[in-house]
């Protein structure tokens, strides 16, 4: 295993992984301390409220520290890893040196060699919030380690490990005057929930920044002291049991037993869905209309397409093509409402979302520029996004920016629904199951394939006449696919 010589340590922080995301949970580390990594090599897999993402590191070198255990939730901007950038030679020393470099203190930058200059060049891989330029060389203040406490055995993953009872939370010699060096609102909230004075902690982050790990360490130290528990003293620090502490989970965020059941935290995908649907219900005055349609001819048309050779056309692709044609006729429904400006914004391009149920919960991947794609192109893109959703490989970009949603809830074996609009969109088309029913066709009773269609729309962007006209046009295309020939 190699180590870096004549180089410098660079700290890679958790980047902004998508619109409005403030934190991510570490799912799996892909590197160990002492591993040699290349520029843009994924170093950790994290889960955000939108997707599972492998995060590439924009530096090449030797990993000298990792910050956070698997299952830990980190705020955007928190350190992920430090990388010693420089020439790689020798063997075996990086693993030994790594933990010592993970304390948050860094060495003064050394003189760069040509190889180090090359390795310090920027990444070619861009996530939101960090990118391709060379990281600036920063001189960081070397700070003394935390005051020694009984039983402190060493540091790992950038935090102090306690091997036995200690005298209390690790504290600075005197509470500092001025603002508390904390960036993350999660750290402040955690300290506030446990009545912990942040001024009494010595941060292990850059320039004394107090990290979540510092607060958790202080809570564990207070628990080891054994003199202050939530049952003995009002306002005392509440701490997790040993199993919870080892996983980094606290009672405020984990599923806790309850006399009447089990509490399950609303976080990750489930939490994001809850927040978005709640906001939609609060802000959007929605209404729903529906109609039954005879889908027999549409099913026959699909069978004929697939019998002619070439890629098979999916039913959802045909429904999507009908949607884009309908939106061209009724553009009011491809819009959003700017509440601050009190304006309706009609959108020129159709980015079509479709609801997909996965093991991680409901997600809505987005087909970009759906109005420019034919049935074959839509089929291919639906297949790609569906497979990525099932494998947990959707990126934040795959899940944002939709302008209209197609919800095929018929796959669950139900006929109808009144879905909640995917905020900030203005409408959603729902498609129930296609079932064989008696139906009057050309004046005679016949057995036909019937589907129920529903449209939920934002009543601010249009009246019922527009919504009804859109849904009637969709139903006409389902019943007589040749209607689409007028717009092809």
If you write DSSP's letter for every residue of 301-353 in order, what string do you get? HHHHHHHTSSSPPPHHHHHHHHHHHHHHH-GGGSEEEETTTTEEEE-SS--EE
Of the CA atoms within 13 Å of residue 167, those in its CB half-sphere come to 6
Highest mean pLDDT: which range of 189-193, 310-314, 394-398: 310-314
Give the whole-angstrom CA distance, residue 364 versus residue 355: 5
pTM: 0.55
Mean pLDDT of 21-46: 88
Give the whole-angstrom CA distance, residue 127 versus residue 19: 11
Q: Which of 89, 197, 207, 463 is catalytic?
A: 463
In this structure, what are the phi and psi dihedrals at residue 344, rounded to the nearest 5 degrees? -95, 125
In this model, does residue 309 exceed pLDDT 50?
yes
Shortest CA distance to 208 belongs to which of 143, 111, 135? 143
pLDDT of residue 90: 42
3-state secondary structure of 388: helix
pLDDT of residue 448: 97
pLDDT of residue 248: 41
Neighbours of 179 (CB within 10 A): 7
Full DSSP string of 359-383: TTEEE--EETTGGG--HHHHHHHHH
Quote the radius of gyration of the chain (alpha carbons, Å).
28
Per-residue DSSP letter, 462: -
Active site residue 463: yes
Full DSSP string of 259-279: TTEE-----HHHHHHHHHHHH
End-to-end CA separation in angstroms for the chain? 61
Q: How many helices (H) and strands (E) does the chain have?
A: 10, 23
Active site residue 3: no
In this structure, what are the phi and psi dihedrals at residue 115, rounded to the nearest 5 degrees? -65, -40
226 pLDDT band (50/70/90 cuts)?
low
Contacts 24+ apart (CB under 8 A), 127-133: 127/15, 127/16, 127/17, 127/53, 127/55, 127/56, 128/15, 128/16, 128/17, 128/18, 128/19, 128/396, 129/15, 129/16, 129/17, 129/76, 130/13, 130/15, 130/16, 130/58, 131/58, 132/58
312 pLDDT band (50/70/90 cuts)?
very high
Neighbouring-strand partners of residue 89: 3
Tokens read off for 239: 């701490």
Contacts of residue 18, Cβ cutoff 8 Å, sequence gap at least 6:
48, 50, 51, 128, 395, 396, 397, 399, 400
CA angle 443-302-300, nearest 5°? 25
Tokens read off for 46: 């994290």
Shortest CA distance to 32 belongs to which of 47, 44, 15? 44
For β-strands 404-407 and 352-354, DSSP reports them as: parallel
Contact 370, 304 (CB under 8 A): no
**Quick one: 421 exposed, middle or buried, by C-beta within 10 A (0-12, 13-18, 19+)?**
buried
Q: Which of 197, 214, 459, 476 is catalytic?
A: 459
Tokens read off for 135: 């990281």
Mean pLDDT of 252-264: 65
| Residue 450 vs residue 55, higher pLDDT | 450
163 pLDDT band (50/70/90 cuts)?
very low
Mean pLDDT of 227-239: 43
CA dist 367 → 20, 350, 359, 391 (Å): 21, 9, 21, 18
Shortest CA distance to 488 belongs to which of 251, 322, 302? 322
In this structure, what are the phi and psi dihedrals at residue 428, rounded to the nearest 5 degrees? -145, 130
Highest mean pLDDT: which range of 63-77, 224-238, 277-291: 277-291
């Amino acid at each position: 295993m190699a180590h870096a010589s004549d180089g410098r340590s660079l700290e890679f922080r958790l980047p902004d992984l998508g619109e409005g995301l403030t934190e991510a949970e570490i799912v799996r580390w892909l590197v160990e301390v002492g591993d040699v990594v290349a520029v843009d090599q994924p170093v950790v897999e994290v889960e955000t409220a939108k997707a599972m993402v492998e995060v590439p590191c924009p530096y090449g070198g030797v990993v000298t520290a990792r910050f956070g255990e698997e299952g830990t939730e980190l705020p955007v901007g928190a350190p992920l890893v430090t990388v010693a950038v420089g020439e790689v030679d020798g063997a075996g020393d990086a693993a030994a040196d790594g933990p010592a470099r993970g304390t948050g203190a860094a060495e003064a930058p050394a003189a760069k060699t040509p190889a180090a200059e090359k390795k310090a060049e920027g990444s070619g891989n861009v996530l939101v919030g960090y990118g391709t330029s060379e990281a600036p060389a920063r001189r960081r203040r070397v700070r003394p380690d935390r005051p020694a406490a009984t039983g402190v055995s060493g540091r790992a993953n950038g935090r102090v490990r306690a091997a036995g009872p200690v005298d209390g939370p690790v504290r600075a010699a005197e509470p500092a005057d001025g603002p508390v060096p904390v960036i993350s609102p999660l750290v402040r909230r955690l300290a506030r929930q446990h009545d912990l004075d942040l001024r009494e902690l010595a941060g292990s982050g850059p320039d004394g920044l107090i990290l979540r790990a510092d607060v958790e360490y202080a809570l564990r130290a207070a628990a080891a002291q054994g003199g202050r528990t939530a049952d003995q003293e009002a306002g005392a620090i509440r701490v997790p049991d040993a199993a919870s502490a080892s996983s980094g989970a606290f009672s405020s965020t984990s599923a806790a037993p309850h006399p009447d059941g089990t509490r399950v935290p609303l976080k990750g995908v489930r939490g994001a869905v809850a927040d978005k649907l709640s906001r939609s219900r609060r802000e959007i005055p929605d209404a729903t209309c529906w109609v039954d349609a005879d889908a027999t001819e549409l099913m026959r048309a699909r069978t004929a397409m697939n019998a002619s050779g070439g890629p098979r056309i999916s039913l959802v692709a045909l429904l999507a093509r009908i949607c884009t044609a309908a939106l061209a006729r009724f553009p009011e429904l491809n819009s959003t409402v700017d509440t601050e400006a009190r304006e309706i914004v009609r959108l020129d391009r159709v980015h079509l979302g479709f609801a997909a149920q996965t093991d991680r919960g409901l997600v809505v991947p987005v087909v970009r520029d759906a109005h420019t794609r034919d049935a074959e192109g839509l089929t291919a893109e639906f297949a790609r996004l569906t497979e990525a959703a099932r494998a947990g490989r959707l990126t934040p970009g795959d899940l944002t920016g939709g302008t209209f949603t197609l919800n095929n809830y018929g796959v669950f074996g139900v006929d109808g629904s009144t879905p909640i609009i995917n905020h900030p969109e203005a409408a959603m088309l729902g498609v129930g199951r296609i079932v064989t029913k008696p139906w009057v066709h050309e004046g005679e009773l016949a057995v036909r394939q019937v589907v129920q269609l529903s449209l939920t729309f934002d009543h601010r962007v249009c009246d019922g006449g527009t919504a009804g006209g859109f849904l009637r046009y969709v139903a006409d295309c389902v019943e007589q696919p040749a209607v689409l020939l007028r717009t092809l």
